[in-house]
Structure 1
Amino acid sequence: MPEGHTLRKLADDLTAAFAGRRVRVTSPQGRFAADAEQLDGSRVVGADSAGKHLFVEHEGERFVHVHLGLIGQLDVHTGIEGGAAAVPDPVGAVRLRLVTLDDPTDPRPAAYADLRGAIICDLVGAARRAEILGRLGPDPLRPDADPDLAWRRISTSPRAIGDLLMDQKVLAGVGNVYRAEVLFRHRIHPLRPGNTLRSGQWRAMWADLVELMAEGVRTGRIDTVRPEHTPEAMGRAPRKDDHGGEVYVYRRTSQPCLVCGTPVRTGELAGRSSFWCPKCQPKFRSRALRSPTKGTGRAGGARA
């Protein structure tokens, strides 16, 4: 499933291509036909994302709400010389198509976008949009995000932090890749209970997510390794994976950790595969569970 940086980039691309322009709105597949008819000929205000949700705003406070799910795809095509007449016919099961209407006062070339396979494609008003946003946790890519909202939920929950990071009601936009990588970068085991984290650890993770996900928007891929662990710095071959990007643990099961050489492990967590390094991310041991040292009364065992 696309992570938040993908939706943010799509919102930016849609805004650049369609904002301020009137559009032909159709549903070649037919499943969005009635709503498309209402929007046909309207002007696009812009697009925005929150977590894994995308909103394309049309005049009159009308929003096309999109959630791509596992197989959804939204392709934006720009620079079409020759106007709307040069836009090719839709191919396949296109749920929603946007095509710019010719405007002699607008110097931009024609553009079009095709949506396929989304689990949600609905026309909603401002109240429904606000309701959807109200159910989401803070999104590291939004300037109005408040990390304290997520911290209040994390700090009071006994659930595993690896589970909490994927809960969109706690934190919006983080998926399996960013979850695995930010936990590795901060040496936190994915099964550590959320209520055992310190506020400083959470704030450092949040700041890291803000930076990493913004870089993902810029490059269109997820890169999480530090400069000293890049292929060039380590003299190793670049990673080959459909998801792209250089990562520490995600989908690197049994491969050596780039930091310590220990084989990366994987296991199931909340229905998804979780990846971690057992040496760099040791299991958390609560001080309350450590055995007293003989004759001293002091807690023994490794520090968290």
Structure 2
Amino acid sequence: MRSKDRLAELRHLANGAAAGVYHDTVELQLKEPPAHHADIEHTFNEVERIRGWIHQLDNNTQLMRRLHTDPTFHTNKQLQEQLESAVTASNAAGLKVCGALRQLEASASAGAARNDAAARIARLQYAATRHLYADALARHHAALDTVRHDQLHLLHQQIKLTNLTISDEECQSLLDSNNISLFVDNVKAETAEARRLLRDVEARHAELARVEAALTDVRDLFAQLAHLVAAQQDHVDSVEYYALQASDHVGAGGGHLLKGTVSRTKARKKKMGLVVCLVVGVAVVLLVLIVT
């Protein structure tokens, strides 16, 4: 490629600048980047976005391993929920990476006809990104297999402890349904039943305590009543004695009243006889006097 010799022009411009006179004005114009530069930049942006999702997948894999190595993982519902959330997030990131890789593959396949820098960079970035995603996905699947293997081993141990007979299909269905706490659930159920029985016994004990307290109050009341009766016994005996004497006097008074009534009748008869006798005597005397 031939180039124009601009040495004389540059010397002329330098001499004019040294004299303090600007004869020409040099304008610098920024040219727009070629089209393949825009394709390269778009490819790098896509690859950076995909690698961000791959990095998120690696972070979720590390989180799963950290949660699974916790000694209380199989009994801590919060840790299990965090692991499930990490698996869900990893699945979403994997779907995004797959879709973006398909688009990047389509872009690289479209540029396969030409052999320019943009096409070569697109093919190279697609291959490298796909390799990174395959490694991250393999690590994620290895972590999932480890968790599933430990859950399956724990389920078999619980089945042995509970003396259950479960086939491999039923065991797989239990593992798929995330129900691997047979022995723990039995212990929890028995504990809940024991707590319920304890609450019932405590309620009955409280009721019996209230009944016992009421009976104690009644006993104290009867004791106070017996003490009062004992204290008033002399007065009761005196009242009873005078009541008996009053009964006797009432009986004797009835006899005396009957005798008085009979005596009064006899006295009245005697009085009437005397009056009759006196009247007859007076009449005889008057008659004698009249006759004589």
User: What is the TM-score normalised by the length of structure 2?
Assistant: 0.22
Greater strand share, structure number: 1
User: What is the TM-score normalised by the length of structure 1?
Assistant: 0.21
Whichever of the two has the greater Rg, that structure is: 2
Greater helix share, structure number: 2
